[in-house]
Amino acid sequence: MARVELLVALVALVFTIGIFAQVLADRYRIPSIIFLIVAGIVLGPEGLGIVTREAFGVALPVIVDLSVALIVFEGAFHLRYEDLKATRSTRLRLITVGALIALVGTAITVRFALGTPWDLAFLIGSLLVATGPTVIDPILDVVAVRDSVANALSFEGVVNDVTAAILAYVSFEVVLAEQPTRIAFLEEFAARLAIGIVVGALVAVVLRSLIRAVDRAAGNAAQNARLLALAGAFVAYAGATLLAEEAGIAAAATAGLALGNLDVPYKETISEFKGDVTTLLLSFVFIALAALLSFDDIAALGVGGLVVVAAVMFVIRPLLVFVSTRGHQFSRDERLFMSFVGPRGIIPASVATLFAVELTDAGLPEQATTLVGTVFLVILATVVLEGGLAPYIASALDVVPMQIVIVGGGTVGRGLAERFDAHGENPVLIESDADIARRARDDGHTVHVGDGTVAETLRDVGVADAKLLVVATGDDDANLLAAQLARSTFDVDHIIARVNEPENTDAFEDLGVRAISPTESAIWAIDNLVERPALLKWTVELGQSGDVREVDVTADAAVGRSIAAVRNDLPSECLLALVNRDGTNHYPGDDFDLERGDTVTLLGRTEAVDDARTLFARAG
């Protein structure tokens, strides 16, 4: 078989296996990178020897580079300024202070665990700064953490890919330089970053003009918009790379971030199309990693390599996360989860392989072996352990919020979504009116455009898995129909309905739906405003400085303990106000003993209430 036909067959095989891996990942709710990395090892030189660097020849680096450019572009395209506002300070610290801790901490560990020169240690450290969307996004596709957590991790991944690529290239020049200086290092880094940002921003502006032009022209405007966005990602990467090596990643990320936040027609269709293309490319590049893997290089590191892995995963990553998220609204368990989710991926692997070849040509084969072995060992360990265990860690830490579906994106629906989000949940709004849906998205909410009285719409948002459905439109007939459909077709147990006309309340209650009448709510609110103004004011402020939580008693350490004993362990700014047992509320005295299955009501400052939950609820 001719070389071209062999290459075509090989690429087709990799794509096919990659697609099957994605299907398996979706079926078993396991991050796809686990199946992809296993498939790559089996097909690679350490397995069947089908996928090798020699088989692809010079085409492999080109394919990987362009694939990474599109993946980074797509990851940045999904980052919305509105979604990121809440974690602005955390994001800034993650990509500055956090990246610095990762760089210095990893370099010091490599220097003393492996005995490498300082310049090589910092080269390895700069590569391992990268987490990246190629490894973060597949985990977040499976683990539905709160939006603020997912956005912080995604943003960190996109920016750190850029930082690592440029840092690594500049560090590599230091390794080869005879008399490197810190000033020269900083100048090189700043120059490449600036080139990437400028080129990416220019490409985004041009793309917006072109997409608007095709929107005004006749023909298939949506398809043309998708193709222009695809071409723009490649143009940004290639253009910046021609000006300065490794500036292409910064350009692709900047172009994606800018275009995703500009007023561009067909943004949703562009996102869907690029998501499908990215899924294919992600499959290819991870399996292609097998062509770069050598177990001999990893084994040559010995115990020192394991020390580096342990330090990166269990010391450096938690340290940078806890420092970067200090003072933010993330709970302790969310910070622990973020500490565990820091896998390394494509950028370190591809760049390390390139540098290893150049180090070998420069007469430094031992440094090349150490570089590749360390980087790939950290990649394998973090991808397999963190990617495979992430769903279980999330479950144990209870960081996956309750799924809440709200039918109706009007004032009431948006207000509820804002409250639920403040309580750490991830509400999804269903709204049929495009203008109202756009306003809800502008407010930072997750919105599905569709009719909540149609079974297909409810199925698309996953209402069957929802723990709560709220129907909150201004039409009682639509609310009743949506509630009936959810109860009969999807077996949703907990449904709350807004009842606009009080006389319709019985129809909802006959269905077993909790009905809330605005008229009765207004009476209740006015009564509280007159009789209990301080309590009403505090209730209105819930989710900002204070919180109320109901927690089921499942922890062995809490069962059988008296209220007096439990109160001694509560944070100073948290009160245990109520105990519900078998449907009956108790206002417990000091000698009241807790039983398994009780539900305790905690109130106080948000952070104190969150910490107190762990006293009563068993992890997992």
Instruction: Read off the CATH number of the domain in which 277 is found.
Output: 1.20.1530.20
Kindly state the average pLDDT of the residues 495-515.
85
Q: What is the pLDDT of residue 491?
A: 85
Q: Is residue 5 part of a domain?
A: yes
Task: Extract the tokens encoding 368.
Answer: 């090349």
Range of the domain at 61: 1-397
Of the pLDDT bands very low, low, confident and very high (cuts 50, 70, 90), residue 282 is confident
Task: Extract the tokens encoding 441.
Answer: 């998205």
Q: Kindly state whether residues 66 and 194 are assigned to the same domain.
A: yes
> C-alpha 250: how far from its chain's center?
20
Beta carbons within 8 Å of 340's beta carbon, 6+ residues apart: 313, 317, 386, 389, 390, 393
Q: Is residue 533 part of a domain?
A: no
Which tens digits make up the pLDDT trace of 529-538?
Answer: 666 666 656 5
Beta carbons within 8 Å of 18's beta carbon, 6+ residues apart: 36, 39, 280, 282, 283, 284, 286, 287
C-alpha to C-alpha distance for 337 and 461, rounded to whole angstroms = 25
- Quote the pTM value: 0.66
Q: Kindly state whether residues 94 and 217 are assigned to the same domain.
A: yes
Of the pLDDT bands very low, low, confident and very high (cuts 50, 70, 90), residue 620 is very low
Kindly state the average pLDDT of the residues 334-346.
87
Judged on CB neighbours under 10 Å (0-12, 13-18, 19+), 543 is middle
Q: What is the pLDDT of residue 312?
A: 95
Residue type, 42: V
Distances (CA, A) of 10 to 13, 55, 129, 436: 5, 8, 32, 48
Kindly state the average pLDDT of the residues 76-89.
64
> Percent of the chain, pLDDT > 90?
13
* Number of compact structural domains in the chain: 3
Q: Kindly state whether residues 35 and 75 are assigned to the same domain.
A: yes
Q: Is residue 266 part of a domain?
A: yes
Q: What is the pLDDT of residue 95?
A: 84
> C-alpha 240: how far from its chain's center?
27
C-alpha to C-alpha distance for 227 and 221, rounded to whole angstroms = 10
Q: Is residue 48 part of a domain?
A: yes
Average per-residue pLDDT for the chain: 82
pLDDT at 400 over 90: no
Q: Kindly state whether residues 295 and 382 are assigned to the same domain.
A: yes
Q: Is residue 539 part of a domain?
A: no
Beta carbons within 8 Å of 272's beta carbon, 6+ residues apart: none
Q: Is residue 538 part of a domain?
A: no
Helix (H) or strand (E) holding 214: helix 182-216
pLDDT at 260 over 80: yes
Last residue of a domain, one of 374, 397, 420: 397
In this structure, are residues 419 and 439 in contact, taking their beta carbons and an 8 Å threshold?
A: no
Q: Kindly state whether residues 300 and 372 are assigned to the same domain.
A: yes
pLDDT at 276 over 60: yes
Which tens digits make up the pLDDT trace of 46-75?
Answer: 888 888 877 777 777 777 778 878 878 877
Last residue of a domain, one of 487, 521, 555: 521
C-alpha to C-alpha distance for 214 and 229, rounded to whole angstroms = 12
Which tens digits make up the pLDDT trace of 93-130?
Answer: 888 889 999 999 999 999 999 999 988 899 899 989 98
What does residue 390 show for φ and ψ, rounded to 5 degrees?
-55, -45
C-alpha to C-alpha distance for 125 and 307, rounded to whole angstroms = 14
In this structure, are residues 129 and 157 in contact, taking their beta carbons and an 8 Å threshold?
A: no
Tell me if residue 403 falls in helix, strand or coil: strand
In this structure, are residues 555 and 618 in contact, taking their beta carbons and an 8 Å threshold?
A: yes
Q: Kindly state whether residues 503 and 570 are assigned to the same domain.
A: no
Helix (H) or strand (E) holding 375: helix 365-381
CATH number of domain containing 414: 3.40.50.720
Q: Is residue 540 part of a domain?
A: no
Beta strands in 384-454 (DSSP E): 403-407, 426-431, 446-449
Kindly state the average pLDDT of the residues 418-432.
79
pLDDT at 371 over 70: yes
Q: What is the pLDDT of residue 440?
A: 82
Q: Is residue 536 part of a domain?
A: no
